Amino acid sequence: MHTISKILNAPPEETLDPDSWDDVHDLSHQIIDDAIGYLRDVRDRPVWQDMPSGTKTFFTTPLPQSPVPLADVYQQVTNTVMLYPMGNIHPRFWAWYMGSSNFTGALGDFLAAIQGSNLGGGNHAAALMDNQVIDWCKEMMGFPVSASGTLVSGGSMANIIGLTVARNVMAGVDVRELGVAAMERPLRFYGSDQVHSCHRKAMESLGLGNQALRRIATNGELRIDLAALRRAILEDRAAGYRPACIIGTAGTVNTGAIDDLDALATIAEEEGLWFHVDGCIGALIAISPHNAHRVAGIERADSLALDPHKWLHAPFEAGCALVRDAGLHRGAFAVTPEYLETAPRGLASAAWLHEYGLQTSRGFKALKIWMALKEHGIEKFGRLIDQNIEQGHYLSALIKAEPLLELVAPTTINIVCYRYRRAGLDDGRLKILNIEIMLRLQESGVAALSDTTVHGAHCLRVAINNHRTRRQDLDLLVRETIRIGELIG
């Protein structure tokens, strides 16, 4: 037992707050000024550059024991992290598939951290804003008001949320209580051979196994072959499996192909299957004035994954899962222990947001999305999506017009697959040459692309999910690809 006098003799109590708020004022303003300059001048810097060895070893320094002034800490960040970014905020970053962030979203992330709420739920304003952003996502996707949703780290988690609900609903047993071993028939899920790798992770972590996901062949446009899908479902039923879920992809990661979502919804309906759409790339095309028709049928999904950190350019991370039937969604995740019961009034007098996913504590991701949507309005985001798709077709036209380059897959939206070609080189040599071009483009800081293989053909892949890209950047890419290709000789 501590006596009062012992407590009074104890060392002074501490906090993480600064000794004087005046001390952090100037530095904080400096950080904001630097941040503005950093984004304003991003075009003048290389897209990417490799780190010198000094920077690499900097990150092996030991666990700090004693204090360092914040100004020095910031200086260390400036000299390392800020100098060597991945590059996805740059106008000529087109590798993989990312968003290019935005300043308002960054302010949102800052304010979310300052305000500090835990979005596990509760009766407070951030929770209402989280709900409102979900409502806005439902509206953008044409989902009913009665649908539910949750903001998660990204598309991979959003897909896992949707597929978990699908598994539980289709299992035929109480899979939450009894586990997958109790299922009478193994479940089968269906996606195209272009399906994103996160679905494999989902199958594995759901205990169904990778083989439970049947990859259905795609046609020349890289869209799922509907007849092959119907055959596979019949075959599986006859073989004693339980066909459970069709995964439609709205924008494949390889080429941007969009499955015929309407037809998939109809097949799912006829066969009594769950219909999940992976819309991480393309769901948001639904808000674009000129291209929305490409994702017709998305509103018929039972569950849908979309990715605000892609085409809404929210700073990482922000993904969103929507589920048409809120009861089924909550039924897949809700577990309310006695210490998380709701109260009639006060802080706990609201539905818990953690009942719609795997996390308990949740960050305040809604604010960065909410602020950017408010500032620009949804019409502008729709136009920016059209702009990227138009740029994809512009680049595609440049490539078609250029004898030294060839398209390797049809361009549907904002992903362009092409390669440098040279007479007399077989596919293996062409691949080596094109990889070298890609690496030199990256290392020179001119552009960041990635590569892939489409129906057996290796290619360079340009994914223009970038509100800073201009057509002149694509002109430069074509010139540089050819220049480097000729240089390699």
Q: Which residues of the chain form contacts with ligand PLP (CB under 6 A)?
A: 97, 154-156, 196, 198, 249, 253, 278, 280-281, 307, 319
Minimum gap (Å) between residue 398 Cβ and ligand PLP: 24
Question: Least CB distance from residue 446 to ligand PLP, whole Å?
Answer: 24
Q: How far is the CB of 278 from ligand PLP (least distance, A)?
A: 5
Over the chain, what HEC string results? CCCHHHHHHCCCCCCCCCCCHHHHHHHHHHHHHHHHHHHHCHHHCCCCCCCCHHHHHHCCCCCCCCCCCHHHHHHHHHHCCCCCCCCCCCCCECCCCCCCCCHHHHHHHHHHHHHCCCCCECCCHHHHHHHHHHHHHHHHHCCCCCCEEEEECCHHHHHHHHHHHHHHHHCCCCHHHHCHHHCCCCEEEEEECCCCCHHHHHHHHCCCCHHHEEEECECCCCCECHHHHHHHHHHHHHCCCEEEEEEEEECCCCCCCECCHHHHHHHHHHHCCEEEEEECCCHHHHHCCCCHHHHCCHHHCCEEEECHHHHCCCCCCCEEEEECCHHHHHHHHCCCCHHHCCCCCCCCCCCEHHHHCCCCCCCCCHHHHHHHHHHHCHHHHHHHHHHHHHHHHHHHHHHHCCCCEEECCCCCCCEEEEEECCCCCCHHHHHHHHHHHHHHHHHCCCCECEEEEECCEEEEEEECCCCCCCHHHHHHHHHHHHHHHHHHC
- Residue (97 or 189) nearer to ligand PLP, CB: 97
Least separation in angstroms between CB 280 and ligand PLP:
3
Residue closer to ligand PLP, measured from CB, 307 or 386: 307
Looking at beta carbons only, is 138 or 196 nearer to ligand PLP?
Answer: 196
Min dist. Cβ of residue 247 to ligand PLP (A): 10
For residues 117 and 254, which CB has a smaller minimum distance to ligand PLP in the complex? Answer: 254
Nearer to ligand PLP, 278 or 302 (CB): 278
Nearer to ligand PLP, 127 or 245 (CB): 245
- State the nearest-atom distance from the C-beta of 59 to ligand PLP, in Å: 24
Q: In angstroms, give the least distance from the CB of 281 to ligand PLP.
A: 4
Closer residue to ligand PLP (CB): 252 or 481: 252
